[in-house]
Copies of this chain bind each other. A is one copy, B any other.
Amino acid sequence: MRRTNKTEFAILGLLSLYPMSGYHMKAFIAQSIGFFWQESYGQIYPALRKLLSRGLIDRKVRRQKSRPDRHVYSLTARGRERLSEWLHAETDPEPVRQELLLKLFFGPTVDAKVHVQHVQTLLEQQTERLKTFERIEKTGLKPYENDPAYPFYRSTVRYGQYITRARMRWCRETLAWLRNQADDKQ
């Protein structure tokens, strides 16, 4: 079974927006799709090299004084084709490992208070997260309102909202019975 390297597609996708450097890619990802996608230099630079050698991207070197040269990459026709292929292809379900659920599953081993602590932390994190998403939807996306990509950007943010709210609801439900459990024991 071929495990296709998704970093390469992420790069092709980014370059479909506009030409940019590897350094810029990392920054761009972090502040846009960071909540559902992340890349490190250790992935990006070797991938760029590979894509270049296969002719899917082009490179232009911008000379800079007192700084390393900037390598600005852009899509070639073949790269655009490859991107389209991937966009059409079926998305294989990604494996998940939820450490918190694993802990809960082995729950009776420890005091219920331990779980209360964990779930509470998750609830707080998710509450913060939701605020961020709402801020992004309301103000962060303003500059793109007339961009054809706007509804697409928005839908990814809304995905985050839906999932985050679901987690929060689960946290509250779970906290309720965990606390009952802790009380019963006394």
Chain A positions near chain B (C-beta within 8 angstroms): 6, 9-10, 13, 16-17, 32-33, 35-38, 80, 83-84, 86-88, 90-110, 114, 118, 121-122, 125, 148-149, 151-153, 155-156, 158-159, 162-163, 165-167, 169-170, 173-174, 177, 181
Protomer copies: 2
- Sample 21 A-B pairs with CB under 8 A, ordered by A number: A6-B97, A13-B105, A16-B106, A33-B102, A36-B96, A36-B101, A37-B96, A37-B97, A37-B102, A38-B97, A83-B109, A84-B109, A87-B103, A91-B118, A94-B99, A98-B159, A108-B148, A158-B170, A158-B173, A159-B174, A162-B169
Contact A37 B98 (CB under 8 A): yes
| 5 pairs of A and B residues whose beta carbons are closest in the complex | A166-B166, A107-B152, A13-B106, A36-B98, A162-B166
CA distance in complex: A155, B119 (Å): 12
A37 neighbours in B (Cβ, 8 Å): 96-98, 101-102
Task: Please give me the residue from chain B that is nearest to A156 by CB atom.
Answer: B101
